[in-house]
Amino acid sequence: MIFQLFRRLARAARQRRGMAIDRAHACAALAALALLAGCSAYRPGGLDIDRSKQAVSQNSRVEFIVLHYTSASNDTSLKILTERNVSSHYLITDHPAPRVYQLVDENRRAWHAGVSAWYNSSNLNSASIGIEIVNPGRRGDGWAPYPPRQIQVLAILLKDIIARHQIKPFNVVGHSDIAPQRKTDPGPLFPWKALAEQGIGRWYDENLARRFLAEFAAQGLPDMVWVQKELRRVGYAAPETGMLDKATRNVLAAFQMHYRPRSYDGNPDAETLAILKALP
């Protein structure tokens, strides 16, 4: 009887020791897993960067939107913008239901603006989003119109980009605005005024322009020093020659395509200068 009791006590002691060993093994296994997890996140030469805090003093690097026409068909435009030494962030086709392609991430630089200037900025590729719109551009003695559906899609895209990057109205521009010596896109048929009525881009006070037009009719036109200075005030890279030279005519023509597309001959007529003076 005593011998049987001794055997039961011995068996219970062995079971308790086994449980303790199992618990020890489990703890060791968990520790090993934790160590392995830590090792799997380690990269030789890497850093453990804490991104839990963000500064309030920051904004987007994107300051401008530059609009272009492609002068090519949908397929050709897509091929050029993806395979050659030129690109844009977005391409909008001219299909009946236009398709929007994103070809370059907004955080990366697309090669669309080239040699360019706007206000005090140059090399606008570094701080802009480029949007190419499929449109033939100049066609004989005229220009190809933009389909209404294509402009509707463009407006949706523009509103989204403007809101996300807080882009100022005067920084929504055409390629001809930032490179007036060599570019004409998006051309005189691009609907700048219609977009401005939707809150996209900059437009002038038409009542104020009529008042300035009357003043110029009564007092005569200002000189070219004034004209060039005003063009620079509203963003254009105008010469400082004080003369109506070819470069100044090109800038005036770009301005007219944007704000007075009915006539864009590059002459500083009273209507053009009244609009220029009325532009904020």
Residue 6 is assigned to a structural domain of this protein: no
Using the predicted structure, report yes or no on whether residue 26 has a pLDDT greater than 90.
no
Average pLDDT over residues 111-120: 97
Q: Are 229 and 241 in contact (CB under 8 A)?
A: no
Catalytic residue set: 132
Q: Are 197 and 273 in contact (CB under 8 A)?
A: no
8 vs 3: CA distance, rounded Å: 9
Do residues 86 and 183 share a domain?
A: yes
Report the DSSP beta bridge partners of residue 128. Answer: 64
Residue 36 is assigned to a structural domain of this protein: no
Do residues 92 and 149 share a domain?
A: yes
CATH number of 216's domain: 1.10.101.10
Q: pLDDT digits over 71-83, tens only?
A: 999 999 999 999 9
16 vs 48: CA distance, rounded Å: 43
Do residues 89 and 188 share a domain?
A: yes
Do residues 245 and 179 share a domain?
A: no
Residue 28 is assigned to a structural domain of this protein: no
Residue 125 is assigned to a structural domain of this protein: yes
Residue 42 is assigned to a structural domain of this protein: no
Do residues 166 and 241 share a domain?
A: no
Residue 98 is assigned to a structural domain of this protein: yes
6 vs 175: CA distance, rounded Å: 98
Residue 15 is assigned to a structural domain of this protein: no
Do residues 110 and 169 share a domain?
A: yes
Q: pLDDT digits over 137-154, tens only?
A: 998 889 999 999 999 999
Residue 2 is assigned to a structural domain of this protein: no
**Better-scored residue on pLDDT, 128 or 140:** 128
Report the DSSP beta bridge partners of residue 138. Answer: 143
Average pLDDT over residues 33-60: 72
pLDDT band at 270 (very low <50, low <70, confident <90, very high): very high
Q: Are 247 and 232 in contact (CB under 8 A)?
A: no
Q: Output the average pLDDT for the chain.
A: 89
pLDDT band at 32 (very low <50, low <70, confident <90, very high): very low
How many domains, the chain? Answer: 2
Range in 2-16, 122-136, 176-190 with the lowest mean pLDDT = 2-16
Domain with 230, as residue range(s), is 206-278
259 vs 141: CA distance, rounded Å: 20
244 vs 223: CA distance, rounded Å: 10
Do residues 87 and 188 share a domain?
A: yes
Do residues 119 and 171 share a domain?
A: yes
Do residues 190 and 215 share a domain?
A: no
Using the predicted structure, report yes or no on whether residue 234 has a pLDDT greater than 70.
yes
